[in-house]
Amino acid sequence: MSYAVVIGAGATGRAVARQLAEAGEQVKLVTRNGSGADAPLIDRIALDAADADGLVRVVDGARTLFNCAMPRYDRWPQEFPALAAGMLEVAERAGVDYVMLGNVYGYGPVSGAVLEDHPLSPTSVKGRIRAKIWEDALHAHTAGRVRATEVRASDFLGHGAYSIYNLMVTPNVLAGSPAYYPGDLDVAHSWTYTEDAARALIAASRSDAAWGKSWHVPPCANISVRELTGQLAEMANAPSPQLIRMTAKDVVEMGRSDSIMAEVEEMLYLFEQPFEMSAAATASVLSVQASPMPEVLRDTLRP
């Protein structure tokens, strides 16, 4: 029986593995320490994804390789290019379909709704890295070496989601403490539910129309940080949130002692102006719809 290989046990990687298993598919979930979703049909494998030869042996015979791996946010320039190139090489050597979890950094600053065919024009280090990862995969696809597609997400919500919002706001709202967040608290922003991202990745892997194209995860909401935080507090029966805007100067100062926050500075344009994704193509071609916000918030608040 064919199987799928999922690399990375973050919230989206775990969701992909679990959703595939729930659909009756055998899954090999690869992480450095063998962690991740524990369920029937999921075989957890401890392996460094940088070990191309070892990974080829795991992938040999698979139908699809899902790349949901990402280095630490402050290690992107040092680790991400080699990691992505290695994954692409593995997919080519093993002859499997290649589905990547991407994000919106490669677009650079955008005015108006971002469509799935919007050109890449990155202005940041991390944006250029993301754009190059997709361009390399697309080149391999066009050359006939592999079938590749990328599903792009915005800022994550959901249980265990790794995002600035989940790190800086959610726990403080629940504790009734002031929550600091970089950027304009009142501009509309697209939010991605990790479970919806997993559904979009799986749908792309099953559609002949997906290959050689990029897709957007349908946003679960296009609302401001302030509105989102109010809904979160109400769902949790928490006190009225104390939300405080971090200025660019605040971010720079905090970055002097926090290597993760230091990486936020070049991405502030995403939070200082409206950013809304259109996922019309994903909805019509891949038949993926966004989950209702109450469901997203309940999962985000789940212990």
Task: Quote the distance between the C-alpha of residue 158 and its chain's center.
Answer: 11
Please write the tens of the pLDDT for every residue from 174-185.
Answer: 999 999 999 999
Mean pLDDT of the chain, nearest integer: 96
The pTM for the full model equals 0.97
Residue 2 confidence class, pLDDT cut points 50, 70, 90:
confident
Predicted local confidence at residue 39, as pLDDT: 84
- Quick one: what percent of the chain has pLDDT higher than 70? 100
Distance in angstroms (rounded) separating the CA atoms of residues 253 and 275:
25
Residues ≥6 apart with Cβ < 8 Å to 103 = 130, 152, 153, 154
| Residue located via tokens 């050109």 | 119
